[in-house]
Amino acid sequence: YTFFPGTPIWPANRRDLTYGFLPANGLTDEVKAVFTRAFEKWSAVTPLTFTQTDSFSSADIKIAFYSGDHGDGEPFDGVLGTLAHAFSPTNGRFHLDQDENWVVSGDVTRSDLPSSVDLESVAVHEIGHLLGLGHSSVEDAIMYPTISARTKKVELATDDIEGIQLLYGSNPNYNGSTTTSNTQERETNDGEA
Amino acid sequence: RFFPNITAIPPWHLPNTTSIAPWDAFTKFAGCQSGEVRDGLSKLKQYFSNFGYIPNSPSNFSDKFDDELEKALKTYQQNFNLNVTGQLDDKTLQQIVRPRCGNADIVNGTNSMNSGKSSSFHTTGHFHTTAH
């Protein structure tokens, strides 16, 4: 695990965070539920809580899908390539590439669409950035920078948990049992597991 | 484009996405050696610049495989647990073209991704490190 320079975190008086969705995206409840599941991965191991709000402007974490240049100096590039990015605490901006073929449910590893990307996998990774984690070189870790198409990877690895608990401490109910490194992969190009 | 339960969608209903991913063209640089000039190599340098491996971002990178690119490659290979050769070998290129997070691996010149230790906190006056 790594942290951003200066180790920015959410301050002690802002540990119950809200998240909202850009209204213009018109996301369905099914899509929003993917993010709820992703936030739960991190709240399970930390004292942080995450609550959805209908007020995008006042949300601590602002989730939005954009295409191409969307004004933050980090334009998206169409199908595959860059999938999403997120800012360090306490900025809260979480942007995803609208042009990706996002899979919301079902077994992405069995998709017939070669460019399918699992939304929950990317969401869990980007939330790590929003909370203060940088990229990790541990391949099983959620915070590893790359993810192949048609791959699902949503469980926090020991590396992720150690990093986030250094920043915020542990959830009092966390007993270590959620630590897994199960990674389901189906590579599109080279067939590696 | 959202796909609920994609495995339940008949293949003939899926969109025809034969377009090439943005970085697939980099595979043509396989075997390119230091000192060589290859058309489009500047875009690979821009890739490394975007993710923090080349600190400065000039408006126009050259198409020459120079020392700056070799240094970026070595750091990238270290971060992704590849053989540190400084060369555009197949495994390195396979890693480069994978979809990824847009956040940089190296922020403000600080690379801690594969340092072996991760700096954490100044706590009681001493510098505490945690082994991976």
What is the pLDDT tens value at each position of chain A, 193 positions in all?
999 999 999 999 999 999 999 999 999 999 999 999 999 999 999 999 999 999 999 999 999 999 999 999 999 999 999 999 999 999 999 999 999 999 998 888 888 888 899 999 999 999 999 999 999 999 999 999 999 999 999 999 999 999 999 999 999 999 886 544 444 443 333 333 2
Min Cα distance A84 → chain B (Å) is 5
**Cα–Cα distance for residue pair B57/A109, rounded to 1 Å:** 37
Under 8 Å between Cβ of A162 and A136? no
Tokens of B84: 């540190």
Q: Which of B6, B21, B114 sits opposite A80 (nearest CB)?
A: B21
Read off the DSSP letter of residue A157: P
Residues of B within 8 A of A7 (CB-CB) are: 120-121
Which residues of chain A does B8 touch, with a Cβ-Cβ cutoff of 8 Å? 106
For B120, phi and psi rounded to 5 degrees? Answer: -125, -85
CB within 8 Å: A137 and B79: yes
Contact with chain A for residue B19, Cβ under 8 A: yes
Largest Cα–Cα separation, chain B: 64
B81: closest CA among A145, A125, A166?
A145
Q: Is A126 an active-site residue?
A: yes
Catalytic residue among A40, A126, A155, A192: A126
Determine the Cα–Cα distance for residues B17 and A101; give it in Å rounded to an integer.
9
Q: Do A75 and A107 form a contact (C-beta atoms < 8 A)?
A: no
Contact B110 A5 (CB under 8 A): yes
- Cβ-based contacts of B3 with chain A (< 8 Å): 101-104, 106, 111, 113, 116
Query: pLDDT tens across A110-129, in order?
Result: 888 888 999 999 999 999 99
Taking the alpha carbons at both ends of chain B, their separation in whole angstroms is 38
pLDDT tens for chain B, 132 residues long, are 898 877 777 777 777 666 678 899 999 999 999 999 999 999 999 999 999 999 877 778 999 999 999 999 999 999 999 999 999 999 999 999 999 999 999 998 888 787 654 433 333 333 333 333
> What is the pLDDT at residue A164?
98
Chain B residue closest in CA terms to A143: B101
β A101-103/A116-118 pair status: parallel
Are the beta carbons of B113 and A101 separated by less than 8 Å? Answer: no
A109 secondary structure, DSSP code: G
Q: In this complex, do B7 and A102 lie within 8 Å of one another by their Cβ atoms?
A: no
Token pair, residue B45, equals 């340098």
Q: CA B50, CA B106: separation in Å to the nearest integer?
A: 9
pLDDT value, residue B115:
64
**CB nearest to B101's CB, from A85, A137, A163:** A85
Helical H runs in B25-85? 41-50, 67-79
Report pLDDT for B111.
83
- Judged by CB atoms within 8 Å, which residues 61-80 of B form the interface with A? 79-80
> Which residue's structure tokens are 């403000």?
B108
Mark yes or no for CB contact B101/A105 under 8 Å.
Answer: no
